[in-house]
Amino acid sequence: MKKYKALNIYLVLVFIILYAPIFYLIYYSFNSGGTMHGYGHFTLKWYKEVVQDTRLITIVLNTLVIALLSSAISTMLGVVGALAIRTVRRAPVKNTLLTLNNVLIVSPDVIIGASFLILYTIIGIKLGFTSVLLSHIAFSVPIVVLMVLPKLQEMSPTLIDAARDLGARRWDVLSKVILPFIKPGIFAGFFMALTYSLDDFAVTFFVTGNGFSTLSVEIYSLARQGISLTINALSALLFLFTVILVVGYYFIVQYYRKPRRQGAGE
Amino acid sequence: MQTRYKNIYLIPYVLWIVLFVIAPILLIIYYSFFNIEGHLTFDNYIQFFTPVYLKMAASSFWYAFLIMAISLIIAYPTALLLTRTKHKQLWLLLIILPTWINLLLKAYAFLGIFGTYGPANTFLQFIGIGTKQLLFTDFSFLFVSVYIFIPFMILPIFNALEELNPSLIDASRDLGGSPWTTFRRVIFPLTLDGVKSGCQAVFIPALSLFMITRLIAGNRVITLGTAIEEHFLVTQDWGMGATIAVFLIIAMAIIMILTGKRRRG
Give the CATH number, domain containing residue A110: 1.10.3720.10
Residue A182 lies in a domain: yes
Residue A227 main-chain phi, psi, to 5 deg: -85, 130
Do the Cβ atoms of B109 and A22 come closer than 8 Å? yes
Residue A5 lies in a domain: no
Q: How far apart are CA B84 and CA B224, in angstroms?
A: 39
Predicted local confidence at residue A135, as pLDDT: 96
Each residue of B216-241: pLDDT tens digit?
A: 877 777 889 999 999 999 998 999 99
Residue B245 lies in a domain: no
Residue among B112, B211, B224 whose CB faces A28 most closely: B112
Cβ-defined contact of B117 to A38 (cutoff 8 Å): yes
Predicted local confidence at residue A266, as pLDDT: 32
Separation in Å, CA A183 to CA A80, A153, A202, B232: 13, 13, 31, 41
Beta bridge partners, A31, equal: A42
Residue A8 lies in a domain: no
Residue A20 lies in a domain: no
Q: How far apart are the first and last CA of chain B?
A: 32
The radius of gyration of chain A's CA atoms, rounded to the nearest angstrom, is 23
The radius of gyration of chain B's CA atoms, rounded to the nearest angstrom, is 23
Residue A125 lies in a domain: yes
| Residue span of the structural domain in which B218 resides | 51-234
Number of domain units in chain A: 1
Q: Sign of dihedral through CA atoms B32, B33, B35, B36?
A: negative
Percent pLDDT > 70 in chain B is: 95
Q: What is the CATH number of the domain that holds B109?
A: 1.10.3720.10
Distance from CA of A265 to the nearest CA of B (A): 26
Do the Cβ atoms of A10 and B81 come closer than 8 Å? yes
Do the Cβ atoms of A28 and A36 come closer than 8 Å? yes
Separation in Å, CA B88 to CA A193, A245, B98, B159: 25, 21, 17, 11
Query: For A202-227, what is the mean pLDDT?
Result: 89
pLDDT top residue among A72 and B102: A72
- Which band of pLDDT confidence, cut at 50, 70 and 90, is reported for residue B173? confident
- Which band of pLDDT confidence, cut at 50, 70 and 90, is reported for residue B261? low
Predicted local confidence at residue A264, as pLDDT: 40
Predicted local confidence at residue B149, as pLDDT: 93
| Residue span of the structural domain in which A101 resides | 44-265
Predicted local confidence at residue B210, as pLDDT: 86
Cβ-defined contact of A219 to B108 (cutoff 8 Å): yes
Residue B40 lies in a domain: no
Q: pLDDT averaged over chain B?
A: 87
Residue A33 lies in a domain: no
Q: Which of B94, B85, B228 is nearest to B161 (CA)?
A: B85
Distance from CA of A175 to the nearest CA of B (A): 14
Check CB contact of A87 with chain B, cutoff 8 Å. yes
pLDDT above 90: residue B33: yes
Contacting residues of B for A253, CB less than 8 Å apart: none
Q: pLDDT averaged over chain A?
A: 87
Residue B111 lies in a domain: yes
Residue B209 lies in a domain: yes
Residue B253 lies in a domain: no
pLDDT above 90: residue B195: yes
Each residue of B109-154: pLDDT tens digit?
A: 998 888 888 888 888 888 888 777 888 888 889 999 999 999 999 9
Touching A: B residues 111-140, CB under 8 Å: 111-113, 115, 117-119, 122
Distance from CA of B184 to the nearest CA of A (A): 18
Check CB contact of B255 with chain A, cutoff 8 Å. no
Percent pLDDT > 70 in chain A is: 94
Neighbours of B122 (CB within 10 A): 11
Check CB contact of A37 with chain B, cutoff 8 Å. yes
Predicted local confidence at residue A261, as pLDDT: 46
Query: For A4-19, what is the mean pLDDT?
Result: 85
Least confident of A106-115, A178-187, A255-264, B201-210: A255-264
- Which band of pLDDT confidence, cut at 50, 70 and 90, is reported for residue B5? low
Do the Cβ atoms of A26 and A235 come closer than 8 Å? yes
Query: For A221-249, what is the mean pLDDT?
Result: 86
- Which band of pLDDT confidence, cut at 50, 70 and 90, is reported for residue A43? confident
